[in-house]
A = this chain, B = another copy of it.
């Protein structure tokens, strides 16, 4: 009486997108507790990992549109989690830096996100988790090149 059509349930694209909904919901709840959302985490993580960068570079690293980078950066800057300064060597660019407060926020989001992974993969034993990660990585890298 409440069954999903097998036409849907059998399709990998359905499994993937529906599971992504759950993953996104879990992540949003986790992020919501510490403030911020997905876009904020991506940028903070990129800055902490590869150092200061221009906005265009951040967009490329995080798979984000430049306009969305602008918006997210405005929000992050409003909370002093990140700083913008025009590049003296190329005045078109903004050099974005993460602040100490930004690093603290990142740590919180990181912890929340780690808990999300556990919730998400809960029913799978470690071996299966590794297999899944591997398969997904293969697919994603393929589609990123294309």
Footprint of B on A, CB under 8 Å? 1-13, 15-20, 22-24, 26-27, 42, 45-46, 48-50, 57, 60-63, 110, 113, 116-117, 120-124, 128-129, 131-133, 135-140, 142-143
Contacts and interface: CB of A to CB of B under 8 A. Distances in A.
Secondary structure call for the A interface: helix
Contacts of A113: 11, 13
A14 B10 CA distance: 22
B128 A5 contact: no
B62 A4 contact: yes
A20 B61 CA distance: 18
Contacts of A17: 20, 23-24, 27
Given A3-B50, A16-B23, A142 B116 contact: no
B121 A15 contact: no
B61 A5 contact: yes
Given A8-B42, A132-B132, A143-B22, A137 B15 contact: yes
The 8 closest A-B CB pairs, nearest first, are A20-B20, A15-B136, A13-B23, A123-B142, A22-B143, A7-B45, A5-B49, A5-B45
A4 B63 contact: yes
A136 B20 CA distance: 10
A62 to B, nearest CB: 7
Contacts of A60: 2
Contacts of A137: 9, 15
